[in-house]
């Protein structure tokens, strides 16, 4: 079980790395489009007063993963139930929303190896809620993968789309280099059309990466939990075996003393 969990975790980590260059591309295009179209606006960029928000809660389908879900749901419970609706990803997330009597508007599931086609409906549903003005903000509550022994529940902004900052990709240009680049860029058909086309893909890939990190965190947490359970069971068996041998030795000694005492009494 530990080997299977480790293999799935490595696959999820490798797939996560594939989504990063898209953020760099969108960052570059966004900077150029902003320069060429100062009055550019789009419904997905609209910042509104938050009267109602949606939370995409990414949990697990199964247990046996330590305190992963507990820590995640503790963060999710901080939102006001009266002004928050939940989009649950995973059975445990949906159970949490139902158990705490919060409003669930949609439930999704994903496989042990998340695919892009599984992330797209989630992003589309959240985008439709925002575009129809049913919510004023969409946030993602999921587990971020730090390393094999550490996973952290995080809250990230999903909608509206803000300015892309902090682009750090190994082997790629830094944010300062991208901002200082003055090369002429020609947009066809227009900066607005290019950005409008990319926004949908950006949200889909964003959600795909969230699912990959959440799944990598789940498999890692499950591997660590199973290792700890195995170590605890081994220690328990060792202690019980020692206690059994002590009792057995004590009974043997008692029987020997009774036999010896009986022989002395007969003499």
Choice among 72-76, 152-156, 255-259 with the minimum mean pLDDT: 255-259
Q: Kindly tell me if the per-residue pLDDT of 132 is higher than 80.
A: yes
Q: Kindly tell me if the per-residue pLDDT of 66 is higher than 90.
A: no
185 within 8 A of 32, measured Cβ to Cβ: yes
Q: Quick one: which H or E segment has residue 145?
A: strand 137-147
Mean pLDDT within 77-88: 95
| Mean pLDDT, the chain, integer | 81
pLDDT band at 41 (very low <50, low <70, confident <90, very high): confident
Mean pLDDT within 256-262: 78
**From the centroid of its chain, how far is CA 76?**
13
- What's the confidence (pLDDT) of residue 38? 54
Q: How does pLDDT run across 161-205, given as a tens digit for each residue?
A: 876 555 555 555 566 666 666 666 677 777 777 777 888 888 999
CA–CA dist 202, 197 (Å, integer)? 9
Counting residues of the chain whose pLDDT is more than 90, the rounded percentage is 45
Q: Is 134 helix (H, G, I), strand (E, B) or coil?
A: coil
Mean pLDDT within 41-69: 90
Tokens representing 52 are 């109602």
Q: In this predicted model, which residue has the larger pLDDT, 38 or 80? A: 80
Counting residues of the chain whose pLDDT is more than 70, the rounded percentage is 74
Per domain, the residue ranges of the chain are: 2-225
Mean pLDDT within 34-54: 78
- What's the confidence (pLDDT) of residue 149? 84
CA–CA dist 13, 21 (Å, integer)? 15
**From the centroid of its chain, how far is CA 115?**
14
**So what's the architecture of 2-225 in CATH?**
3-Layer(aba) Sandwich (3.40)
Q: In this predicted model, which residue has the larger pLDDT, 51 or 19? A: 51
pLDDT band at 259 (very low <50, low <70, confident <90, very high): confident
Q: Kindly tell me if the per-residue pLDDT of 236 is higher than 60.
A: yes
Residue found under tokens 């660590």? 224
């Amino acid at each position: 079980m530990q080997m299977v969990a480790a293999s799935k975790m490595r696959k999820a980590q490798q797939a996560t790395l594939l989504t990063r260059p898209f953020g760099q591309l969108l960052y570059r295009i966004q900077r150029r489009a902003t320069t060429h179209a100062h009055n550019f606006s789009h419904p997905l960029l609209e910042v509104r007063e938050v009267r109602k928000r949606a939370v995409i809660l990414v949990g697990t389908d199964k247990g046996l993963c330590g305190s992963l879900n507990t820590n995640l749901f503790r963060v999710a419970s901080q939102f006001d139930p009266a002004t928050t609706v939940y989009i649950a990803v995973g059975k445990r997330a949906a159970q949490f929303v139902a158990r705490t009597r919060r409003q669930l508007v949609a439930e999704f599931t994903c496989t042990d190896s998340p695919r892009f086609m599984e992330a797209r409906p989630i992003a589309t549903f959240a985008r439709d809620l925002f575009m129809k003005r049913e919510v004023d903000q969409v946030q993602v509550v999921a587990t971020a993968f730090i390393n094999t022994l550490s996973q952290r529940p995080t809250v990230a902004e999903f909608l509206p789309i803000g300015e892309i900052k902090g682009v750090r990709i190994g082997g790629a240009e830094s944010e300062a280099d991208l901002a200082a680049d003055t090369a002429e860029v020609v947009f066809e058909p227009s900066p607005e059309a290019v950005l409008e086309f990319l926004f949908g893909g950006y949200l889909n890939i964003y959600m795909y990466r969230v699912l990959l990190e959440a799944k990598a965190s789940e498999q890692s947490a499950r591997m660590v939990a199973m290792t700890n359970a195995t170590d605890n069971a081994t220690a328990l068996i060792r202690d019980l075996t020692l206690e059994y041998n002590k009792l057995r030795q004590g009974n043997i000694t008692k029987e020997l003393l009774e036999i010896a005492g009986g022989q002395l009494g007969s003499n």
